[in-house]
Amino acid sequence: MARKDRKEKSTQNNGAPEKQSQLAVLKDAFRLVKTHKPLALVWCLIGLVAAEALAILAGNSLHHPVYFGILGLPLGILVAFFIFTRFANTAAFASIQDQLGAAASVLMSIRRGFTTTPAVNVSRNQDMVHRTVGRCGIVLVAEGSPAVRALLIDEKKKMERFVPGVPIVEIIAGDADGQVALKKLQKKIKKLPKKLSNNQMREVRARLKAVGGLAMPIPQGPLPKGARMPKR
């Protein structure tokens, strides 16, 4: 009976999936880094030892090597964790590079201020346009072949009909000239100037909710919605 009760509790909360624990997130990140950046752990260890060595040297000059050595240990761990997160982020983007819907994964990992609808416009060649709404207005992010620009223009015209007067930003994700790399996409969107009030943003979201989007697959990796990468 106790097991049954635990199962029933786990399936409650309107069927919402349980949040991944921080330990599970770190384990996933560790496996990801080990696969894509095998020397990352060596650099983390070097950072830890270097920080501890500097603390001991500083302690020797002040005649308190043991005290500074103890203080240097948490500092070294912090440095190692900072290095690890840098490698983890790089490995995360590498794991979804060139996958269908990679840009959507990046957009959906933005946790505050933006609401993303993936694959609102898709072509037969699997070029696609994703839509995210925030204080900056509507951001249309396209990914795929060079022909995706026509798809982006078509989606922009559609948005101008549904929500006239709302600022629309067009971005093409990729590594070619004039495109925004996946690893810079979040930063690019977050830096866009805020042009809508909170009330205006909610009104735009309500209007676009009826428009919806297509149900397209996004790559299974470290960046889908709900996933957590270790913070600095």
Measured over the CA atoms of residue 213, residue 97, residue 92 and residue 175, the dihedral's sign is: negative
> Rounded CA gap, 172 and 140, in Å?
8
Place of tokens 């790089």: 90
What is the pLDDT confidence band of residue 21, given thresholds at 50, 70 and 90?
A: low
Nearest alpha carbon to residue 91 among 221, 226, 225: 221
pLDDT digits (tens, 9 = 90+) for 121-138: 888 888 899 999 999 999
Which pLDDT does position 138 carry in this prediction?
A: 95
Q: What is the dihedral of CA 31, 33, 34, 37, to 10 degrees?
A: 160
The dihedrals phi and psi of 180, each to the nearest 5 degrees, come to -110, 125
Residue 116 has which token pair?
């993303």
**pLDDT at residue 231 is higher than 60:** no
Residue range 84-115, pLDDT digits in tens: 888 877 777 766 776 778 888 888 888 788 99
**Position 220: which residue type?**
Q
Distance of CA 208 to the CA centre of its chain: 23
If pLDDT is split at 50, 70 and 90, which confidence band does 212 have?
A: low
Question: What local confidence, expressed as pLDDT, does residue 227 receive?
Answer: 44
For residue 25, the model assigns a pLDDT of: 67
pLDDT band, residue 193 (cuts 50/70/90): very high
Helix (H, G, I), strand (E, B) or coil at 32: helix
Residue 230: per-residue pLDDT = 42
Residue 119 vs residues 116, 141, 179, 222: alpha-carbon distances, Å: 10, 9, 18, 19
DSSP assigned state of 176: S
Q: Rounded mean pLDDT of 172-190?
A: 88
User: Given this model, what pLDDT does residue 114 score?
Assistant: 92
Residues 156, 159, 163, 168: is their CA dihedral positive or negative? negative
35-92 residue pLDDT tens: 767 778 888 888 888 988 898 888 888 888 888 888 888 888 898 888 888 887 777 7
